Amino acid sequence: MRTLCPSYCFFHTAPLNVSNEKERIVIKQISEKIRLRREELAISRSLLASETGLDEKQIRRIENYESTLPIVTLLKICFVLKLDIDFLKKYLEDDSILL
């Protein structure tokens, strides 16, 4: 049974439950971007968790694309990591990913 995330989630399901390959690729790319930027800034998962109000386990699950991610949480992570959210535009412009 596929569990759907509420409409405020950016990631709709955990990757293991994603049937759409394009959706799986998007989740992986965004997760990797978060992890790489955190490592580039030499910020620990613990510090990122503290700054975003999440726990360290949740940050790990996000980075390993094992967790759903509310859009508000994505924005908080982008703010803390100084990630320009323009990188999300390419996903919004591709209707086949979202439908």
- Domains (ranges, CATH) in the chain? 15-90 (1.10.260.40)
Average pLDDT in the chain: 80
Q: Residue 8 in 3-state DSSP?
A: coil
Q: Is the pLDDT of residue 9 over 50?
A: no
pLDDT for the residue numbered 66: 87
> For residue 42, what pLDDT band results from cuts at 50, 70 and 90?
very high
> For residue 38, what pLDDT band results from cuts at 50, 70 and 90?
very high
Burial classification of residue 50, based on how many CB atoms lie within 10 Å of its CB (0-12 exposed, 13-18 middle, 19 or more buried):
middle
Evaluate the CA torsion angle 54, 39, 79, 47 in order and state its sign: positive
Distance CA 44, CA 66 (A): 19
Q: Is the pLDDT of residue 44 over 90?
A: yes
Q: What is the mean pLDDT of residues 76-95?
A: 86
